[in-house]
Structure 1
């Protein structure tokens, strides 16, 4: 594989704007789909902490420049730094990312996410636990981690597990992309605003002088429009999704989907789900099913701590090298032919899955210690 390296330092990767009451945090790496790197996370974490402790600041706006909101974390840097040095390099980056996600999820002041474009992985970790999640017709959401040998993370087992029925299991197991209307209808978004009105909404938000949620809600409501689901939307098949994705194991879910095709004929959403699951990392799928079900009754802190354990095991490669193999196949060589180990669901034992949920036994590793933030509840 050939990598092209640039030694020119990127500047202004996050921009900060606003007035005395309203502050904007703007992801500004549009040529990289606003993929999060260590410097961006550090800058946001530092500035958001300052804003939270500034009594004059009443509202935060979180947005992005370019066609994407944020397509995720910088996986390529995580892989290359680990291969070139030590597995704890990506672990350190990921720890800082999760502490930023936790800060935003438990923020003492209202945060409005203006999500006008692709939001995946790390971008969902930033935005899905904010008070106000505004989407447009250009928004595309997905958690495709299982396709590269990871498992949906950054708190996904918290915010996806709280969707209607077993829709969260479905999204994480199938990598299904949702549009803005679907995000609003299932609860991932709080408001749908057409992209042509987004600048007007942003300007209106600059007039806010209070942290009162009802006042902010009323303001955003002035710009919203009624949305309708397309006929092929999986949300129109929620009964079938609940029936299939409520099964106890991934194998049973696959079998249930196959039976659905036998009885009712092929539907595109089922065929797409099966194709994705058959091509994804079997270990990742099993980890996600357990994780999302544990997350349904856990706090955001518990979910983020578990995500850290799971990711560190993937980085360390003592249980599995699937993350590196998936990254090779999808991001480096781009042959889209990963060789998973084990290669089939039935070969992934419960004992193997259990190991990912345990602490890492390594002198260079520590548990994720999230700061105690009293009297703060998550936004979902």
Structure 2
């Protein structure tokens, strides 16, 4: 019989169901599309640590209540404080979130994330690092940060860099929306299950009394299928994506896309160029550097580097694009941010490298990750 725990009588932002050896954690802020509050991140951290220590727990299931898995971090408090110069509020929030991402990536027991709905930003960090990611026809994945003066974080420089060829650069730079079939095809999801089969899948997973990944994968596979990709899907365009997104610099990437646009009347190429030209030039250059370097580094190193960058971004010492993006998209909602610098060619490699330096503040220190004995659990699906 499943048991649901409560959190000291408060309205629970995380629900917990206990069924035999399985623990199901449910993100429970449906009106906010399950955006991760500091309270949710803290509670998930407690639950993951406790379940890892409990020998009776064999499997973790993570899912969302409502039409989203998780639409990202609940960062309004972060940005409001950054506007007032109190950047350390955001740094503390993100420090806690990045450590949770690292624990998930190195977890000793399988995590099955049911991605039945929106999966963006922090929602990707809470799921993609886990061993199993189950997409459905309702899944919508995106890392839209460059359009907001940010960059894909929560370990995205690790998992995006491990997608086929240059698909990670494409997804991270453009913030392109991918459906469940595309998530499976590129490796962000390990399985695809129709949403109407999820109750049966969860019933079967609730009977699990093993942490053997092969046994759990076999259960999920019984309910899985390989869906057909849409005709216009970018997954059909791997060759041109690799051609256009593999050049060394952002300037060369856009130039290659523009050359392709002259040769071919292709709406996808035109819309891709427009997405890049609307994004923060600084964010694009930071994102490209992080993904390229992330390809050669472990998840811990990626998170440490991302933490340095996000602290610089929140401090606004080099530019204030994050505040301008927040204004244009979330406050005034005019969707017309004025980036500064406004053009890629005004941003040098040295300008980008400054974001990777240590913070000149006596109270600041690098992200301290807890000792872990397991290798990262993230793996690209093999079709």
TM-score, normalised to structure 2, is 0.95
CA 1:10–1:355: 2 relative to 1, 3 Å: farther
2:171 and 2:75 mapped to 1: Cα distance? 21
2:326 and 2:274 mapped to 1: Cα distance? 19
The offset of 1:379, in angstroms, is 2.3
- Cα offsets for 1:322-344 (capped at 9, x unmatched): 10111010011101111111001
1:111-150 to structure 2, matched below 5 A, reads 111-150=111-150
Q: Is 1:108–2:100 an aligned residue pair?
A: no
Equivalent position SS for 1:225: coil
Aligned length: 371
1:1-380 to structure 2, matched below 5 A, reads 11-84=11-84, 86-265=86-265, 267-380=266-379
- Cα offsets for 1:257-277 (capped at 9, x unmatched): 011011122x22212211111
The offset of 1:11, in angstroms, is 2.1
1:315 and 1:273 mapped to 2: Cα distance? 28
The offset of 1:98, in angstroms, is 0.3
2:137 and 2:374 mapped to 1: Cα distance? 36
TM-score, normalised to structure 1, is 0.96
Equivalent position SS for 1:292: helix
What is the CA RMSD across the aligned residues, in angstroms?
Answer: 1.2
2:167 and 2:154 mapped to 1: Cα distance? 18
The offset of 1:375, in angstroms, is 3.8
Contact 1:88 1:364 in 2 (8 A): no
Equivalent position SS for 1:112: strand
The offset of 1:20, in angstroms, is 3.3
Contact 2:107 2:374 in 1 (8 A): no
Equivalent position SS for 1:208: coil
1:110 and 1:219 mapped to 2: Cα distance? 13
Which ranges in structure 2 are unaligned for 5 or more consecutive residues?
1-8
2:218 and 2:325 mapped to 1: Cα distance? 45
1:299 and 1:29 mapped to 2: Cα distance? 32
1:28 and 1:54 mapped to 2: Cα distance? 24
Which ranges in structure 1 are unaligned for 5 or more consecutive residues?
1-8
Match of 1:3 in 2: none
The offset of 1:85, in angstroms, is 6.0
1:88 and 1:297 mapped to 2: Cα distance? 30
The offset of 1:10, in angstroms, is 7.3
The offset of 1:148, in angstroms, is 0.5
| Shift >6 Å, 4+ stretches | none
